[in-house]
Structure 1
């Protein structure tokens, strides 16, 4: 059986340009951004766009997956730091703050996720992020810093309902007010 050839360099570049343009166009025009406009913004022919992404759902799904890959990497890095001696609750707080800021600054991902009705645990990167966050939660609970009934779903609920359309100071205040509800130490631990 012959091995598949790796994609040509120009095909890889075109895919990256299309994804960047899709993020930009969805940010500017919402999930209804047209495929023609995305192709034009990427500097590729519409046929090239459709060769990479046969449907708009495929394109939006790729944008969401790209974002979730960054979230998974961040969650795994936080877990690794906690496994090396950092306080798990500090890592959870920093991770949630990072996700909050990334979501606030990447409106394309937020719009795309709502368009697809995306839910946690539907892609490999989401599974990785969930596993890393679950390990952090278990460690913080073992340290006595996090209530025993707190789950990964609770953190997904916080992330999906966060005030990402508000200025940075409001988002920071929201985090200061919300995280103590999960901590066994109250506001002093998270604020």
Structure 2
């Protein structure tokens, strides 16, 4: 089996510029933004864009994958901090807030992904779930989280966040809902 050659430095730069431009334009204008507008905003030729992302679905999927990777890294970094001695509930609270804010910012990208049928690599889900399980277990061991709280509960919390509301509403919502996960609330 042959291995794929690593991308040249200029190709890596072009890919980043394309993804940055696509994220910005899709967020502002939705999935119907033309590919040539994305290429122009990225400062690359349309052919370069199509060489990296042959279809709009490929491009939107790459933008979504980048978002999911950033969120996965945030969960893993929170778990690393707990392993290093940070308080699990503090890390969980900050993490949920961060993920909700990032999701609110990327709401248009997720809608675009659904609209064109784009998806992302599922291995990020496995990594994020493993790190979140570690955070939950640590919070339960500290006596801060109720013993029956699961990863699915946190996913449900994130899925029901009022992403289309202003930041103040999202913060108030989190202040009201997150305590339901704690041992003290029951």
Are residues 1:18 and 2:44 paired? Answer: no
User: Structure 1 residue 165 and structure 2 residue 164: aligned?
Assistant: yes
Counterparts in 2 of 1:65 and 1:2: CA distance versus 1, 3 Å: closer
Alignment of 1:33-44 (within 5 A): 33-44=33-44
Q: 1:109 to 1:150 in 2, by over 3 A?
A: farther
What residue number does 1:109 align with?
Answer: 109
Residue 146 of structure 2: aligned partner: 147
Alpha-carbon distance in 1 for matches of 2:2, 2:30: 42
- Cα deviation, residue 54, structure 1: 1.5
- TM-score by length of structure 2 reads 0.88
More deviation in 17-26 or 32-41?
32-41
Q: How does the TM-score come out when normalised to structure 1?
A: 0.86
CA contact (8 A) 2:57 2:113 kept: no
Q: Work out the CA distance in 2 between the residues paired with 1:113 and 1:153.
A: 23
Distance 2:163 2:79 in 1: 24
Q: Using the alignment, how far apart are the partners of 1:23 and 1:5 within structure 2?
A: 26
| Contact 1:23–1:63 (CA under 8 A) maintained in structure 2 | yes
Match of 2:54 in 1: 54
**1:117 shift after superposition:** 7.2
SS in structure 2 of the partner of residue 32 of structure 1: coil
Decide whether aligned partners of structure 1 residues 2 and 135 sit closer, same or farther in structure 2, where only a CA change above 3 A counts: closer
Distance 1:2 1:131, change over 3 A: closer
Deviation at 1:107, TM superposition (A): 3.5
- 8 Å contact 1:23–1:108 — kept in the other structure? no
Q: Judge which range, 126-135 or 106-115, deviates more.
A: 106-115
Matched with 1:127 is 126
- C-alpha spacing 1:62/1:4, structure 2 compared with 1 (3 Å): closer
Q: 1:90 to 1:2 in 2, by over 3 A?
A: closer
Shift of the alpha carbon at 1:42?
A: 1.5
Q: Which range moves more in the overlay, 58-67 or 32-41? A: 32-41
Gaps in structure 2 of 5+ consecutive residues: none
Residue of structure 2 equivalent to 1:77: 77
The 5 Å alignment of 1:176-187 reads 176-186=175-185
Unaligned runs of 5+ in 1: none
- 8 A Cα contact 1:25 1:38, kept in partner: yes
Taking only aligned residues, the RMSD between alpha carbons, in angstroms, comes to 2.3
